[in-house]
Each structure stands twice: as C-alpha cells, then as structure tokens.
A and B are shown apart, each in its own frame.
Chain A
Amino acid sequence: MASVAVETGHASALRARRRPPLSVLLSLIVVAGILVLTIVPGVVEPYNPLAQNLLLSSGGPSGLHWLGTDANGRDVLSLVVAGTRAAVVGPAVIAVGTVVLGATLGIAAGLKGGIFDAVVNRLADLLYALPGLLVVIVVVGIVGGGYWLAVGVLLVLSIPGEIRLCRAASAVQARLAYVEAARTLGLGTWRIMWRYLAPNILPTIIATLLLDFVGALLGLAGLAYLGFGTLPGAPSWGQLLFGGESLLQENPWMSVGPSILIILTATSVTLIGDWLYDRSVGTMGAR
C-alpha cells in the first residue's frame, strides 16, 4: 500500500513541477562537469600536471598557461583539474558511509525506542558537542596518517548528525498506521526498516547524503590546506590554495582557481539537495 501511495504522489509532483529552476539546472551542469574532471581528468588537462618547468616559475596567466604556473613552473590549470579527484572521491565515500551507517542506526533508534534509542542518542550528543575538524586535525596530525585516515575519522564524526536526523524523521513515521500494520503482519524489524520506513523518509536521507558530501568536501579541502590528510604525489584543491597563498602577488589565480571550484561545487550540490528535498517533501505533504 505504502509504495503505491508514494508512486502516485511522485507522479503528481512531476506533473506540477516538471522543470527544475534555472539555479538547479546550472548546478546540475556544474556537477556534471566536476564528474568529468573526476573520472577522466587526462582529457581536460592541457599539460601533465606534475611536469615542472622551472623557467616558467610563478608566472601569471598567459595564452599557454590560462591560470599561470606555480613555484615549480607546473601548469596551475592542469593541477586544479588533477586535484578534483582527491577533492571529490573521499567526500563521496564519507557521504555514502555516513548515510548507510547513520541511517541504519537512526532508523533503528527511532523505530525501536527504549534503551537502544537512549544509548545511540547519548553517543550522538557526545560526538555532536565536539568541533569535528579540530578532532580530525589532532588525530590525523598525531598519528601521521594520510588521506584515507582523514576520510575515516571524518566519516565517524559525521555519523551523529545523520543519526539525529534519521531518528527524528523515523520516530514520526513509527507512530503511523502502516508501520503498525506491518508489525501486526509479523514482519521483522529489518524488513520494516528498509522496505516500509526508509522509502518514506527518503527525501531526508537524500538531502543529508548531499549535505554530508558538502561538509566532507569542505572539511577535507581544509585539512589539505593545513597540510594534513593528503595523498603523496596527488595534488588537491586545498594544497593548491595553500601553495597559492604565498604567490598571491605573482599569480593570484593559483588561489582563486581552487577557491572558485570549492565554492561552486559546494553551492551546486547544496542547491540540488535543497531542490530534491523540497520536491519530495511537497509530494509527501500532498498525500
């Protein structure tokens, strides 16, 4: 029953607002572009990003090097393109991991209540009160780990927020009749969670997936800016920003380029998330 209701609601929403607004269309184009840079950076890079040419050290933009060169004479545009992968892959892993683990714990807590709910909630409270990025800086800096350690710690720290949201959303659903009905039919908790409850809080889950991605993108780039959690030999936007800071006089584009990409990616993904959320919440409300 529940799935039928969702489908009809979905169809009516598509009829009501077939075209996404311009800002969302632009965001989709940006995200598509970022995906191309992530998957096949070699196609877009004008030069080998790691090839040094010390004769062209710290040059400004020119016809040959659109964003100029860095202190070692490497082409900044190629470096920025090559840095996309490090900037995007980790956050994607964090977002998916956070949603899978956080949603499981959150939905279970909202559905079951009781001691399990209390424990999960306390845990979320505890981690929530800490400035996450500082924790990552300390742990990654002291242990001396690289990119994947930073990804792991950020993932753990972003789970509490996810748990809270999913718990709140599923606690509302758990009181509704269809959950009661599923229980009466004798279905297991796991099945109720994923087949009945999860589809109904899907807008929340998708919105948080994209928000988690944005948070992780900004966090990881910040860490890279400070020199933590980087992959040896692979450039990233944060590292380029740091390198560009000392070249602000000679070649400001080395800072401006990655800055624009960071802001553009973060804003686009946020806008798409908001739009998806509003759209599906609209269909839910119509029922």
Chain B
Amino acid sequence: MLIVVFLLRRLVGGLVLLLVLSMLVFGLLYLSPGSAIETLMGSRPPTPALVHALTLEYHLNEPVVAQYWHWLAGAVHLDFGTSISVQTDTPVSTLIWQHLGVSAELALYSLLIVAVVGVPLGMVSGMWRGTVADRSVSLISTAAVSAPAYVSSVLALYLFGVTLSWFPVYGVGSGVAGRIGHLTLPALTLAVLLGAIVVRQTRAAVIGIVHEDFVTFARLRGLGTGRILVRYTLRNAAVPVVTSAGLLLIIALTAGLFVEQVFSLPGAGTLLLMAVTDKDIPTVQGLAMALGLLVVVVNLLVDIAVLVIDPRSRFSTKVR
C-alpha cells in the first residue's frame, strides 16, 4: 500500500511539473517580440487567408485562457501544430520524431560506453582506494567534469577529427557502419563527460560499502573477489548510482545539444537551436514539452528501479 501511495505521489508531482511547464511553454508565444499572429506567420506573406487560417487554428480570437486550453488539449494528444520556419507546414510531432532518432542513438551509444567502462572503473577505484589506479582515475574524472561539453567537443574534433583524421568530422553518414563510424567520436565525447560523473558516484558508493561487515564476512567465508564485487558491492552501490540517473539525464540533454552542434548531427538539440533561432514557436513548444515528459518519465523510472533494486526502500518509502 505504502508503495502505491508513494508512486502515486511521485506521479502527481510529475504531472504538476508538466502542467506548470506547459503554462510557461505556452507563454513563449506571448514572450516573443511582436504580436502572436506576427510570430506565427514568420516570414510568410501576410495574406488575409493565412491570417484567417492561423486565427482559427490557434483560436486567437478567443481569450488567452481559452487559447491555452485548446493548446493543452492538443498537446495532450501530442499535437503541437505545424512548424513555421524550420520546415514550414510539417507537423511539429513529425519533426520531433525525425530528430529524436539521432539523439537517442547518440545517448544509447554513450550510455553503453559509460556502463561498460565507467562503472567498472568507479568500482576498481573505490575498492582499491588510495592506490595509483584510484588516484589516476580520480584525477582524470575531475578533469573531465571540469571541461564543459562545447570545449571538449571542439578539442576532440580538432585532435581526432582534423589532426589525426581518425573519425569523420561532420554529419551522420549513411548505412549502419557509416552511422556507427560517424557517431563514435560524438558518443565518446559525451561518454567522457557522463562517465566522469558515474565514476565519481560509483567510487563514493563503493567506498561506503567495502568496509561494511557483510563484505568482510563474505571475504572471511572465502568468496572470490569477483563474486563479492558483483553480488555484494555492486548491488548495494547501485542505489546511489541509479538515483543519479535523473541528474545524468539533465546533463546529457544539455551536453548532447552542444555535442550535436559541434559535430553537425541533426538531433533534437540541433532542432531546438534551429527552432529558437528562427523563432519557430510551435516547434519550440513541442520540443520543450517532449523533453519535459522525458525528464518526468525517467525520474519515475528511477524511483521504481530503486524500489526493485533495494528491498529496504520498499519499507521506508514514507521517509523520502
């Protein structure tokens, strides 16, 4: 019962966040310089027919509250109207789907690298704390966290793309092999940034656990290091690491935008930049809501994942 109440509260919290976000996002139309109809026309010729069509489509002849209501009703069905200037008259949802693919591939690719390299490094670093290995890992991760995505992307582009010519420097390529080749350097750049955070989180979590009695007893019983690492340490260290997924997502969204921009990848970040620069309000609104939804869903999944991983949390849900 407690769990259901806890999850419901989280769900309601997420919905409230989305509702507030939707108000802010809707307000963008009025934040933009010029009248709403001017903004929605963009650079198209202002014929009476277009003015009439847009007025009807966005209910501009009705009060603002009614406009918001109509907009929200559409947004719930993932209908955010049509793009003004990025790709005129294309439905915003189509546009978002087209660009989300590249971003998702980039994110999964770097997540894979982080999971395969970052988590083990953090565990090694935490298990053998104070050794040369630990200190080098800590130093590198500190440096990687200090370098913002736009700096590390440009430097990676220069070093591995321009100087050494190991990787292509532009676009997404064609075919599966071409795509993997084109996404490798951007994914590595993003993975270094995210991995540095994961390494630090994992290290801190492991340090807290290796001196627990149950680890000592496991060692005393003669269990192998590998088994202790996976069955005892990893599972207990997983909770703080999984909890940081929400934070990681926010960093990945921001860093991903810069990485896409530097490597000229047509992802969601690039779409957002194009839409903002062109003042394509419907596209910005749709994208902002989509990203907000993503954040809420991931945070909810993190809550559920913690309940699954750590049985203790199922009894202490009231505390959080």
Binding site for B on A (CB under 8 A): 125-126, 129-134, 137-139, 141-144, 218, 221-222, 225-227, 238, 241, 244-245, 248-249, 252, 255-256, 259, 262-263, 266-267, 270
B31 with A241: CB separation less than 8 A:
no
Interface size class of B (residues with CB under 8 A): 35 or more
From the candidates A225, A244, A248, A267, name the one contacting B146 in the complex (CB within 8 A): A267
A222 with B250: CB separation less than 8 A:
no
A-facing residues in B153-203 (Cβ within 8 Å): 154-155, 157-158, 162
Q: With a CB–CB cut-off of 8 A, which chain B residues contact A241?
A: 150-151, 154
Of B148, B155, B162, B262, most buried by chain A (CB within 10 Å of CB) is B148
Q: With a CB–CB cut-off of 8 A, which chain A residues contact B296?
A: 129
How close is A61's CB to chain B, nearest CB, in angstroms?
15
B148 with A222: CB separation less than 8 A:
yes
A263 with B151: CB separation less than 8 A:
yes
- Given A143-B32, A222-B148, A255-B158, A126 and B17 touching (CB < 8 A)? yes
Docked complex Cα distance between A249 and B158 (Å): 8
- Given A131-B254, A131-B295, A262 and B288 touching (CB < 8 A)? no
Q: With a CB–CB cut-off of 8 A, which chain A residues contact B26?
A: none
Q: Which residue of B lies closest to A269 (CB)?
A: B146
Docked complex Cα distance between A247 and B291 (Å): 33
Docked complex Cα distance between A133 and B276 (Å): 13
Docked complex Cα distance between A266 and B31 (Å): 33
Q: Which residue of A lies closest to B150 (CB)?
A: A225
Say yes or no for B243: interface residue by CB 8 A criterion.
no
13 sampled A-B residue pairs with Cβ under 8 A: A126-B17, A133-B257, A138-B276, A141-B279, A142-B31, A225-B258, A238-B150, A245-B154, A252-B162, A255-B154, A259-B155, A262-B151, A266-B148
Say yes or no for B261: interface residue by CB 8 A criterion.
yes
- Given A129-B295, A142-B31, A221-B148, A134 and B272 touching (CB < 8 A)? yes
Q: With a CB–CB cut-off of 8 A, which chain B residues contact A222?
A: 148-150, 258
How close is A112's CB to chain B, nearest CB, in angstroms?
22
From the candidates B16, B33, B158, name the one contacting A256 in the complex (CB within 8 A): B158
Of A144, A248, A270, most buried by chain B (CB within 10 Å of CB) is A248
B155 with A255: CB separation less than 8 A:
yes
- Given A126-B17, A222-B258, A255-B154, A137 and B276 touching (CB < 8 A)? yes
Say yes or no for B72: interface residue by CB 8 A criterion.
no
- Given A222-B148, A266-B146, A134 and B284 touching (CB < 8 A)? no
**Assuming A142-B32, A222-B150, A252-B162, what are 20 further A-B pairs, CB within 8 angstroms?**
A129-B17, A129-B295, A129-B296, A130-B292, A131-B254, A133-B254, A133-B257, A137-B273, A143-B33, A221-B148, A222-B149, A225-B150, A227-B277, A238-B150, A245-B262, A248-B162, A255-B155, A255-B158, A259-B155, A266-B148
- Given A131-B250, A226-B261, A259 and B154 touching (CB < 8 A)? yes
Say yes or no for B54: interface residue by CB 8 A criterion.
no
A141 with B150: CB separation less than 8 A:
no
How close is A119's CB to chain B, nearest CB, in angstroms?
14
Interface SS of chain B: helix
Of A227, A244, A255, most buried by chain B (CB within 10 Å of CB) is A255
Q: With a CB–CB cut-off of 8 A, which chain A residues contact B154?
A: 241, 244-245, 248, 255, 259
How close is B240's CB to chain A, nearest CB, in angstroms?
17
Docked complex Cα distance between A181 and B4 (Å): 43
Say yes or no for B281: interface residue by CB 8 A criterion.
yes
From the candidates B147, B281, B295, name the one contacting A130 in the complex (CB within 8 A): B295
- Given A245-B154, A249-B162, A262-B148, A142 and B28 touching (CB < 8 A)? yes
A259 with B295: CB separation less than 8 A:
no
B253 with A263: CB separation less than 8 A:
no
Q: With a CB–CB cut-off of 8 A, which chain A residues contact B258?
A: 222, 225-226
From the candidates B33, B157, B162, B295, name the one contacting A144 in the complex (CB within 8 A): B33
Docked complex Cα distance between A266 and B145 (Å): 10
A134 with B299: CB separation less than 8 A:
no
Q: Which residue of A lies closest to B153 (CB)?
A: A245
From the candidates B147, B246, B281, B291, name the one contacting A263 in the complex (CB within 8 A): B147
- Given A263-B147, A270-B146, A134 and B253 touching (CB < 8 A)? yes
Q: Which residue of A lies closest to B254 (CB)?
A: A133
How close is A30's CB to chain B, nearest CB, in angstroms?
13
Docked complex Cα distance between A131 and B250 (Å): 5
Docked complex Cα distance between A88 and B155 (Å): 22
Docked complex Cα distance between A259 and B154 (Å): 9
How close is B302's CB to chain A, nearest CB, in angstroms?
12
Please name the 9 residue pairs, one residue from A and one from B, whose CB atoms are nearest each other, closest first: A141-B276, A218-B148, A131-B250, A259-B151, A133-B254, A267-B146, A131-B253, A225-B150, A248-B162
Q: With a CB–CB cut-off of 8 A, which chain B residues contact A133?
A: 254, 257
How close is B13's CB to chain A, nearest CB, in angstroms?
8
Docked complex Cα distance between A139 and B285 (Å): 11
How close is A109's CB to chain B, nearest CB, in angstroms?
18
Say yes or no for B20: interface residue by CB 8 A criterion.
yes
Q: With a CB–CB cut-off of 8 A, which chain B residues contact A132?
A: 254
